[in-house]
Structure 1
Amino acid sequence: MSGPIRLALIGMGKIAHDQHVPAIAADADIVLTATVSRNGEGVAGVAHFRDIDDLIASGLEIDAVALCTPPQVRRAIAARAIAQGWHVFLEKPPGATLAEVAQLSAAADAAGISLFASWHSRYAPGVEPARAFLADAEIRSVTVTWREDIRVWHPGQGWILEAGGFGVFDPGINALSIVTRILPRPFFITDAELDFPSNCAAPIAARLRFADDLGLAISADFDFRQEGPQSWDIVVETDRGTLTLHDGGARLVLPDGSEPSHSAALHGEYSGLYRRFAEIVHARTSDVDIAPLRHVADAFLRGERLTVEPFIE
């Protein structure tokens, strides 16, 4: 491909405007050529369409799409894009089910185009240094605390507590994407408790326990009802002391108290995602890791469902 990748951004909600648009503007390998949204606003000077069918009918030359829609509708849009021969960037989570992502991956492979299941938290500056430290450490326990206020981070986004909207796993899957990256061995869920508001079809909180084949204990506390200070922390106890990732991976504190990386939350993560997307598009390869999504699916399969008070925004 000669010249920058001509990209259409589909689903113009908060994350698209806050993170995707600035990251695309800063990347010389990608140019924002169109936006698509039924409700969200477009970008000044960029062609805007109501849906992907209108974009296709326009004849505008597009090389790739980035999908920022709710997960419930993402598969059908991605399939339409693949049929057009467009490379596809999937915001996390990559689909509403594992089967959807498997089907999209197979379709992309058959079409010879690139599919990217993006996990933005893996691009936080503390993640790779943490992974390097833990590669040869004896890990004794892992504790994840991911608690935030749904009213602050998802105002008016009722879909997130509907069936297929993931509920508290929408942010919680970010934690799982980090843990699956930094730990040297795969792990599996042993039990879970999921709190469902009486008026919602997705959980608002979850408490999870995992283990690996060597008996490593991993616990996670996800909650969408946190008021005041927010918590996005991963604490790893090792034979060399305690390693902590704060602020969603933005700040790493090693056992000796040193902090090799520290930056604002989300700073640089989306730039890293788009660099990676450009790499796989030019290489005509795909990057589809479903490990975080598999753990969420297992939590729904294995977890005890508890009914809690209704959620009123």
Structure 2
Amino acid sequence: MIIKYTLQRLLMLIPVSLSISVVIFLVVHLLPGDPIDNLMRVGSSPEDRLAMTVKYGLDRTLVEQYLLWIRSILSGDFGEAIVLRRPVSALIWQNLPYSLTLGALAFAFSSIVGMIAGTVSAVAKNPVVEQVVKAFILLGSTVPSFWLALLMILLFSVTLGWFPVSGAKTWTALVLPVLTIGFGGIALVARVTRVALVEIARQDFVTLLHAKGLSRSTILFRHLLPHAFLPVVTILALRIGWILGGAVTVEFVFGRPGLGSLLIRALGQRDYPVVQGCLLMLALAVMLGTLIGDVAQAALDPRVREATT
């Protein structure tokens, strides 16, 4: 049953992927600017410009360029960077490990701390603790990541000198980016965990468990948390793509290599193949996270599987 559901979800990703590729291609090509401007030397003739335009296929119509790009993508070729003059796939695979490392650590940090904060907020009888956690959740949900990154640099790098401002040579260079990306995730996971626990705690079976004399810790860990885990798993799966997307600005602010820094540099140079490749990878990450969340939700809740049959 779960295999059939997974196959259905995979098939649904095909039209979604094609639609996203069209949007990415149009958005990139309709932006003002021309990548050829970054290649031409001062005093270059119109003939030189035309030759460069023909070389990279920019003289073709948008439909022809899109079809050629999709055909190359399906064969595993992301094209050649116009400005850097290197295969786009090589640039992506060179920078992807840095983004994956940063994303994995930020995901683990935000998930663990967020679930703990949400659980404490839901079960704590101390109103001060509950208000502190609520304030933390609100703050994490509203503070922009790039602004938080600048504050982190100012406090922990410039003022205190604890961590490097930029780079990726040592593990200490990961601390501030992980904290920056994970901060917003903590708020989201904590809020979902708290709401789920509060709603489940109001169910009749929980009252029955209290009447049977079970301890609060037994009810929490053996009954409440497993039931509350369903919406948390869904939001955690979505966080997989969101973290890689959120790392775009954070990597650039901290001067780290990665897809984010590569994408922003390519945007400034209007390097269409690189921008398209990076955006497509980020979109695939979001779709993969959504797929994992849907499959995990279906595995935990049979009602989800039955609704699709």
TM-score (norm 2): 0.25
Higher relative contact order (CA 8 A, sep 6+): 2
Greater per-residue helix proportion: 2
